Structure 1
Amino acid sequence: MTWTADDKVIVEKGEHAGKRGRVVSVNSGGLYPNYVKVYGSVVRYVWYRDNELKPVAKEAPAKVGDVINHPGHYTWLPNGLEVIDLTEHMNFNRGNAVKYLARAGRKSKATELEDLKKARWYIQREISRLEKA
């Protein structure tokens, strides 16, 4: 298989088997010949041989207005990332703060201020939690 940057993959072997990620870079020579660098959920910049990965089946393109699977106010990040791709690596308070910051003014101009206040509420809750520790 010839991989290119941003290909979606599943790790087939090793400690990260079954984890999904995206190809970050491909090495065809040098220190790691025929290796693919992957970043994704739980998989953090790890080199794999070509045969340790398999492609993720192509999903049908998201329909415009798919408010359940790919809501527009969460899918505007570059490289096809969605806000959940970031927040799933955070604790609940931090993830929710990022979620509300990311969607403020994108979901609805009418709720922009409310979203920013919600983000502030989660940030303050996280600060309080850390101060108690």
Structure 2
Amino acid sequence: MTANFKAGDRVVIGEAGGYEPQAVANALYRGRQGTVTNVITEDGYPYPYEVTFDNGGPLGFAETELTPVRPEGQGVVEPRLPAAPELASRTVVSPEHYTSHPSGIECIEITQHMNFPLGNAMKYIWRAGLKHPDAITDLEKAKQYIEIEIERIREFA
């Protein structure tokens, strides 16, 4: 892979390309500026750019999601994009399908301590049959994320 950004570059997160996990993370960070802190140059890695935000930790992004921010004095600084409309128009709430567990624990209290594939699998298992009447759809999605995690473990074993 030829990297068009390098560690130390300032970037702003732009619009995602529609892939669900990418779009979710992108919607949360769209318009925010950060610094590229690591670049993975191996071919086939979906999010090779680690971006660290000024008031937060690092997150991986695809090149298509990043726009360079020009330094002061070198033309106009790239404009910040507005937050994703679906997030800007409402406050974040705790939906019932994530808070209805008899223990009183909210799903995110558990999944925040997991990596992305395991956290998503847990999320889909947690809400199976609650968000949509068809529990099988959520369980199939959970199965896909479990398979992704199994492949990840096998790859690095």
Given the two structures, how large is their TM-score scaled by the length of structure 1?
0.47
Given the two structures, how large is their TM-score scaled by the length of structure 2?
0.40
